[in-house]
Amino acid sequence: MEALKKELKERIINVLNLEDITVDDIQDTDALFGDGLGLDSIDALELIVLLDKEYGIKLADPKQGKEIFQSIETMAQYIAQNRTKL
Partner 1 sequence: MYSVSKYIHIENGIIFENGKQIVDSNTTDFSEFIKQVYRNFEHIYPKFYKMDDLCKLAYIASELVLKDETEKDIALLFSNNEGSLDTDNKHQQSIQNSNAYFPSPAVFVYTLPNIAIGEVSIRHQLKSESAFFIASEYQTDYMHKYTEHLLRTNKAKKVLCGWVHCLNGAYKACFYLVETNGILEHNNQNIKQITK
Partner 2 sequence: MAVYIHSSNCISPLGFTTKDNFQALLSGRSAIEKIFINDAIGTIYAGTINNQLFDAHFQSIDTHFNGSQIEKLLIAALYSVIKEHPVKPDSVLIFSTTKGNISALAANQLNDAFIPKTIHNINTYFGFKTEPVVISNACVSGVMALSIAKRLIESGAFSNAFVVAADELTPFVISGFQSFQAMSNEVCKPYDKNRNGINLGEAAAAVYVSDTFSANAITIAGEANINDANHISGPSRTGEGLVLSIEKALKEAQKTTTDIDYISAHGTATLYNDEMEAIAFNRMQLQNVPLNSLKAYYGHTLGASGLLESIVAIESLKTNTLVPSLGFKEQGTSQSINIITKQEQKLLKTILKTASGFGGSNSAIVLTKNK
Positions that interact with partner 1 (CB under 8 A): 15-20, 38, 42-43, 45-46, 49, 52-53
- Residue 28 binding target from partner 2, partner 1, none, CB below 5 to 8 Å by type: none
- Residue 67 binding target from partner 1, partner 2, none, CB below 5 to 8 Å by type: none
Minimum gap (Å) between residue 62 Cβ and partner 2? 5
17 binds partner 2 (CB under 8 A): no
Sequence letter at residue 74: T
60 binds partner 2 (CB under 8 A): no
DSSP string, the chain: -HHHHHHHHHHHHHHTT-TT--GGG--TTS-SBTTSS-B-HHHHHHHHHHHHHHH----SSGGGHHHHTT-HHHHHHHHHHH-S--
**Integer Rg of the chain from CA:** 12
- Residue 52 binding target from partner 1, partner 2, none, CB below 5 to 8 Å by type: partner 1
Closest CB to partner 2 among 25 and 40? 40
